[in-house]
Amino acid sequence: MAAAIEVSGLRKAYGSRTALVGLDFQVEEGEVFALLGPNGAGKTSTVEILEGFRSRDGGTVGVLGFDPRDRERGLRERIGIVLQETALDPFLTVAETVELLGQCYPRRREAGDVLALVGLTEQRDVRVRSLSGGQRRRVDVAVALVGDPDLIFLDEPTAGLDPAARIGAWEAIRGLARSGTTVLLTSHYLEEVQQLADRVAVICGGRVIAEGSPATIGGRAGRPATIRFRVAPGLTPPLGEPVGEGIIELVTHDPTSSLHRLTSWALERGGSLDDLEVTRPSLEEVYLELTREPSP
Ligand SMILES: Nc1ncnc2c1ncn2[C@@H]1O[C@H](COP(=O)(O)OP(=O)(O)OP(=O)(O)O)[C@@H](O)[C@H]1O
Ligand SMILES: [Mg+2]
């Protein structure tokens, strides 16, 4: 199966400032792929080159088999776009906005369906200028969905949304993924990436510094687990070190056998390991480690 997006050796500079220095990645059809990276890493530059909104200085780029540089209608009709910043006509209502922009697409969806998907049914007749920031962001997402695209670009789609709206947006994105839409997402919310992405690329300094699934990126799966629990005062478990107030902690590459020893020990004494937790380094911890500036 052909990749939906192929990027190889992508370079971009703004005057003397280099933004992308040879970026490589591929997004398979039907995949949810996330670009992560600090402010200024080059995510928006990459996404907007793929959308055909920005020029590139070098490298090859394929999007659904097209070169976005050619700005062909055949490509435009098959992609949906949420830009990091958009300008909607403030005097149109929500429904008018979605209907108007939907006219660019041959295979458009009903405005009412799309508004229901992003939770704007009640605001359908409200003018855009009277919406809150988060509601406007939802209109952006609605506009990206109205053309029933095969591929959707979401540049920080949930920035500024309240937690409930964010979870609603995740549901909408999952729904797209289930229906086979390919999704390229950027986000600063690690939880969002963890929830949605099949694969992640971390961009830093204009290149991909790590790539993988959210569970395995940066060697995450191979990192030791931390086991933590509480025991009654005076008891000393066979494994782990006290870290305060009866709390015992243990860092292990083999949590299965460590837990076996610990739980056997507790049960033999008729006791328990209270507040037992087993954790791996979070995606956030791994990400911060990967993108930490090298110390001078
Ligand atoms: N239109 C522009 N003119 C000049 N420099 C630009 C322009 N757009 C981006 N840059 C520069 O290119 C680099 C990458 O910017 P880009 O917007 O792609 O980053 P980003 O990863 O999307 O960041 P953020 O997380 O803040 O959205 C930055 O150093 C930025 O200052
Ligand atoms: Mg950006």
Is the beta carbon of 206 within 6 A of some atom in ligand 1?
no
- Mean pLDDT score, 15-33: 96
The Cβ-side half-sphere exposure at 34, using a 13 Å CA radius, reads 27
pLDDT tens digits, 264-277: 999 998 888 999 99
Alpha carbon distance 142, 176 (integer Å) = 12
* Domains of the chain: residue spans and CATH: 3-219 (3.40.50.300), 224-279 (no CATH)
The proportion of the chain whose per-residue pLDDT surpasses 90, expressed as a percent, equals 68
From the CA of 103, how far away is ligand 2's center (Å)?
Answer: 28
Tell me the pLDDT tens digit for each residue of 34-43. Answer: 999 999 999 9
What are 129-173's pLDDT values in tens digits? 999 988 898 899 899 999 999 999 999 999 888 888 888 888 888
Which residues, in sequence order, are CB contacts of 224 under 8 Å at separation 6+? 251, 252, 253
Say yes or no to pLDDT of 295 above 80: no
pLDDT at 294: 63
pLDDT tens column, 245-267: 889 999 999 999 999 999 999 99
Average of per-residue pLDDT across 167-189 = 90
Residue in the block written with tokens 């200024």: 40
For the Cβ of 44 lying below 6 angstroms from any atom of ligand 1, the answer is yes
pTM summary value = 0.86
Determine the average pLDDT of the residues in 82-91.
87
- pLDDT for 87 equals 82
pLDDT for the residue numbered 269: 87
pLDDT at 1 over 80: no
Q: What is the mean pLDDT of the chain?
A: 92
Closest approach atom of ligand 1 to CA 48? 18
Task: Please tell me the predicted confidence (pLDDT) of residue 232.
Answer: 86
Considering only CA atoms, which residue is closest to atom 29 of ligand 1? 40
Q: Is 39 in the pocket of ligand 1 (CB under 6 A)?
A: yes
197 lines ligand 1 (CB under 6 A): no
- For residue 282, the model assigns a pLDDT of 87
